[in-house]
Structure 1
Amino acid sequence: MPRNETRPLAKGEPARIPDWAEVQSGLVRYLRAQGARIDIAEDIAQETLARLIAISREKEIVSLFALGFRIADNLLIDRHRWDSRHGLAPDPEIQGDTPSLDRVMDSRRAVEVFQRCLNRMPRLRREVLVRRRLGQESCQAIGEDLSLSPKAVEKHITRGLIDLRRAMEKAGIDRPGWDG
């Protein structure tokens, strides 16, 4: 646990009393955004609150929501693992359109790998790739802004995509169409 989330209470120091109802509703919203069904989100939020209350009796929680989200994430992963081990696949009709936890975790990992790879790229290659793929700018416009020929812009894009593909493969992420 990061040092900035809690600190020991000094002897005789009273703990601040947070608005636990607000924390619980924030946790449920967070868990729902992570793809948890409402019943699971409420159960995990309740367990998270119990843990936060226990921690708050011994330490001051500096960042209540950060610690709560971290605990909730871990409980959600534990729940998913338990369900998987015991053959309790989620019912697609109950789950609705929310992505599975596996898909959410895979996507987060892919974004982390993607971001690390972008950060390691030469500045010009990264800028060209981001402007073209995310900004949807034309090679001509990028070239004019950066004093590059359209062919040079295309080469930067190609090399950037190769870098990203290699990083994804090295990390074991198989995402068909991610660079399409």
Structure 2
Amino acid sequence: MPITTKAKSPGELEDWPAIREAIRRYVRTRTGRADMADDIAQDVLLRLIALRETQAIGSIFALAFRIADNLMVDTNRREIRQSGDLDEDWPCDAPSLDRVLDSRRAVEVLSSCLRRMPPLRREVIIRRRLRQESCRAIGNDLSMSSKAVEKHITRGLVDLRQAFERAGIEPVGE
């Protein structure tokens, strides 16, 4: 015996078993899962009946398919969240926590070493290595020969290498 309920307009009856079967076929075709089809079809009928009590529905089948689509999306999202499986094919552009911590430690060692350097050597290293200024430009600004600038750079780099070695940090991008 078909389950029917009165529609808003007098004498109109809904064929709930036909709607349920149409939704089951639709979900089964879209997902390939009979268990999901049964659950979603049941939820769709419950929601349609509740809506029918309070609102006039223009096309019951159109609304049923829309509700089914939304329920399929919700079900998939819930299953993904609950599965706990991470897709390892998703690359992450952010550095790992270990790399961030190692980089912070390297910056601390670099800063500490620069603070301990004589002021002239520190300025030469910063201008050459960080600001990419030429030895000639640094020498002209500081009234030094290019050879003297190169010696300050060499001594500064030796100081930095020793500081990194003492801290157990491998220098990168020499």
Q: TM-score, normalised by structure 2?
A: 0.48
Query: When the two structures are superposed, what TM-score results if normalisation uses the length of structure 1?
Result: 0.47
- If asked which structure has higher relative contact order (CA below 8 Å, sep 6+), I would say 1
Q: Which has the larger radius of gyration?
A: 2
